[in-house]
Amino acid sequence: MENLNKESRYIKAKERVDVLKKFYANLWTYIMVISALALINYLTNGFRYMWFLWAAFGWGIGVIFHAIGTFNLNPFFGKSWEERKIKEFMEEDEKTKKWK
């Protein structure tokens, strides 16, 4: 039983590391691409019209939502809410089984 518990904890930790790795890869790509676009923008028109900000804004929204999901920053439907609902449904299921 203890071995199974350690294995499940290891699997959860590995999944968490994979999620973090994907977020940091997304963030790093964002920084590099937006920097390259800013450089291209500067070289072509000297920032008279900063069009690269449109790409930075659009992709930045995606990065923010990715961070919210990765770091469980959602106050409404975060991990704690998920775990509470799972327990609630399990308890509800136990109660209905007792009466059958």
Written as tens digits, the pLDDT of the chain (100 aa) is 677 788 888 998 999 999 999 999 999 999 999 999 999 999 999 999 999 999 999 999 999 999 998 998 887 777 777 888 888 998 888 888 765 5
Nearest partner of 29 among 1, 2, 3, 55, judged by Cα: 55
Q: How confident is the model at residue 43, as a pLDDT? A: 97
Estimate the crossing angle of helix 52-70 against helix 2-45, to 10 degrees: 170
Dihedral over Cα of 90, 95, 98, 100: its sign = negative
Helix (H, G, I), strand (E, B) or coil at 38: helix
Residue 100, pLDDT score:
54
